[in-house]
Amino acid sequence: MINKKHSKGFTSKFGFLMATVGSAVGLGNLWSFPYKVGEGGGAAFVFIYIIMVCLVGVIAMIGEFVIGKRSQVNVIDTYGGISKWFKWLGYLGVLVPFMILCYYQVIGGWSIKYMVDYIGGIGVASGVQNVGGMFDTFTTSVTMPVVYLLVFALIVGIIVLFGVNKGIEKASKILMPALFVCLIVVVIKGLTLPNAVAGLEFLFKPDFTKVTGSTVLSALGQVFFSMSLGMGINVAYGSYMKDSMNIGKSAVMVGVLDTVMALLAGMAIFPAVFSFGLKPTAGPGLLFVVLAEVFASMGPVAGRIFGTIFFMLVILAATTSSIALLEVPVQFVVERFHINRKLASLCIAGIVFGIGSFIAMSFGVPSLQVESVDLLTLFDSITNKLILPITAASTCLLVGYKVKPKNLYDDLQADTKNKLIIYKIWGFLIRYITPVGILCVLGIGINEVITGAAGFETLAGKLMIILSAVFMVIICVIANVVANYMESKKMQIK
Ligand code: TRP
């Protein structure tokens, strides 16, 4: 049953590309990329990010697509089929999206709050002087963020529950271009503001003296998050690919489009940051705080319309990504435990909302914070900086040494001399460069957590973040051992 091959698949190359881009482009591009650039010191972070997209992102993405395309089965069995001792990677690929979703939906809720404010004209009309203050008042108000989280969670839950995802997928073909156009409008408006050039310099003129190991790890984690790497989602998309589809080209396209969207978001935000004398290091609130200024500067009517449209698009982009994130655990539970799909969706969405509520409240409730760091930042750090590097590096090693690049040339359609050369380079990178690079960055990053450079000063804080990650890996390894044991028992009975 589990090993059954997929019968459905993508019918067109465009459909495949849009589905992958739709899952890749989301809050990672619009919300987290800009604020991480701000915290990471600007252009140097952007520069490192782009290098990482080329050397790590695209290379690992090709690896994930190709093992999915070869196996044509679900993620856990794809890894299990390569080696029965690597199913834990598949389990992590289910657990991580679940964890990400818990805080992702909180940001979705914030976006709804902002859209509602613009519809009501509150965001622009009242001449908000201190938009940062407004953001803080909202996020620390304890109940309101939970109410908006509930609204967002209901939207996503209902879509998944009633299985209207197909319509959403179609909608994302219009949504992505619309988002692109809307971003361009905001970028142009931002560039006409006084002192906008300072923002562009911040974004594109690197100052490498500010780079530390944790900046590099933050950039790497952001690449994984933004390209949805290391969580099996691309393995699943690969398994729906048709034979004729070109893996290398698709991965490059996704990498380019995803990066362009992130850079546009940066270009929409940083000129305004400098023009209005705001701080680039504002953290998770950056998108909301800065754009409120930009829309206010457009005047009450235009600002209200653009603010509404922009946040509506943010919500839609977050919704498509959330649906994909929720599908991963739902599909796993349905296949493995033979539970009714609706029940599974309801239960998982409920648990996600429960955990999400604590995350949403943690900004205003100090006892929910760890060393004054909110739970959102904590969840984000554990998944992006610790777990994703482990899963992505392991996937590279698995593809590089167990499956072996030379066995994959057929699937990669390396049928001409030039293509063969390109894929030989890919094979070299995925064996020797990419995984080593990831592990080095991970090592440096962990070292900085231990030495306290990453914001946690007490031993308890450091231990908490590292042990949470270790704990997650151990759970998945145990699941791997149990699954192997049960399978061997089944074989004996037969
Ligand atoms: N890449 C998405 C973004 O940038 C977030 C994300 C991470 C995601 N993993 C995913 C989306 C898996 C769908 C499926 O916002």
Mean pLDDT, residues 130-149: 87
Distance CA 286, CA 273 (A): 9
Roughly what angle, to the nearest 10 degrees, separates helices 286-297 and 131-139?
A: 140
**Is 334 or 44 the better-scoring residue by pLDDT?**
44
pLDDT band at 2 (very low <50, low <70, confident <90, very high): very low
290-325 pLDDT, tens digit each: 888 888 888 888 888 988 999 998 998 999 899 889
Distance CA 140, CA 337 (A): 39
State yes or no: pLDDT of 439 exceeds 50. yes
State yes or no: pLDDT of 459 exceeds 80. no
Mean pLDDT, residues 12-38: 88
Q: 34 CA distance to ligand 1 centroid (A)?
A: 16
Distance CA 408, CA 487 (A): 28
Distance CA 59, CA 426 (A): 7
- pLDDT, position 269: 94
pLDDT band at 113 (very low <50, low <70, confident <90, very high): very high
- pLDDT, position 53: 97
Cα 418 to the center of its chain, rounded Å: 33
**Is 460 or 275 the better-scoring residue by pLDDT?**
275
Q: What one-character DSSP code corresponds to residue 2? A: T
Place of tokens 């929720």: 326
Residue 79, token pair as written in the block: 């890894």
Residue 416, token pair as written in the block: 């001409």
The number of C-alpha atoms within 13 Å of 87 and in the hemisphere containing its C-beta is 19
Q: 26 CA distance to ligand 1 centroid (A)?
A: 7
Q: 130 CA distance to ligand 1 centroid (A)?
A: 32
Ligand 1 and 31: CB distance under 6 A:
no
Return the number of other C-beta atoms located less than 10 Å from residue 14's C-beta: 10
Give which of 190, 218, 212, 196 is closest to 283, Cα–Cα: 218
355-400 pLDDT, tens digit each: 999 999 999 999 998 877 889 988 998 999 899 999 999 999 999 9
Ligand 1 and 228: CB distance under 6 A:
yes
- pLDDT, position 453: 60
Q: 28 CA distance to ligand 1 centroid (A)?
A: 7
Place of tokens 């192997």: 484
Q: 104 CA distance to ligand 1 centroid (A)?
A: 9
Percent of the chain with pLDDT over 90: 56
Q: Please tell me the residue having the least CA distance from ligand 1 atom 6.
A: 228
Place of tokens 């969405």: 349
Q: Please tell me the residue having the least CA distance from ligand 1 atom 9.
A: 228
Mean pLDDT, residues 257-273: 95
Q: 225 CA distance to ligand 1 centroid (A)?
A: 6
Contacts of 449 (CB under 8 A, 6+ apart): 456, 462, 465, 466
State yes or no: pLDDT of 124 exceeds 70. no
Mutate to test the pocket of ligand 1, among 21, 23, 29 (most ligand atoms within 8 A of CB): 23
Ligand 1 and 392: CB distance under 6 A:
no
Give which of 53, 109, 104 is closest to 380, Cα–Cα: 104
- pLDDT, position 126: 46
- Among 2-11, 129-138, 361-370, the range scoring the smallest mean pLDDT is 2-11
Q: 275 CA distance to ligand 1 centroid (A)?
A: 31
Ligand 1 and 196: CB distance under 6 A:
no
- pLDDT, position 129: 55
Cα distances (Å, whole numbers) of residue 23 to 117, 247, 321, 344:
27, 17, 5, 21
Mean pLDDT, residues 28-41: 94
- pLDDT, position 1: 34
- pLDDT, position 215: 87
- Among 7-11, 18-22, 476-480, the range scoring the smallest mean pLDDT is 7-11
- pLDDT, position 353: 97
Sign of CA dihedral 391, 75, 378, 207: positive
H or E element: which one contains 66? Answer: helix 58-71
Place of tokens 């004729």: 244
Roughly what angle, to the nearest 10 degrees, separates helices 13-24 and 300-337?
A: 100
- Among 43-47, 50-54, 365-369, 476-480, the range scoring the smallest mean pLDDT is 365-369
The radius of gyration of the chain's CA atoms, rounded to the nearest angstrom, is 22
Mutate to test the pocket of ligand 1, among 321, 379, 383, 384 (most ligand atoms within 8 A of CB): 321
- pLDDT, position 445: 78
State yes or no: pLDDT of 431 exceeds 70. yes
- pLDDT, position 127: 45
Query: What are the phi and psi torsion angles at 373 (to 5°)?
Result: -100, 130
3-state secondary structure of 280: coil
Place of tokens 């690992």: 60
State yes or no: pLDDT of 185 exceeds 80. yes
Ligand 1 and 221: CB distance under 6 A:
no
Mean pLDDT, residues 166-176: 71
3-state secondary structure of 12: coil
State yes or no: pLDDT of 136 exceeds 50. yes
Give which of 454, 429, 453 is closest to 62, Cα–Cα: 429
Q: What one-character DSSP code corresponds to residue 370? A: B
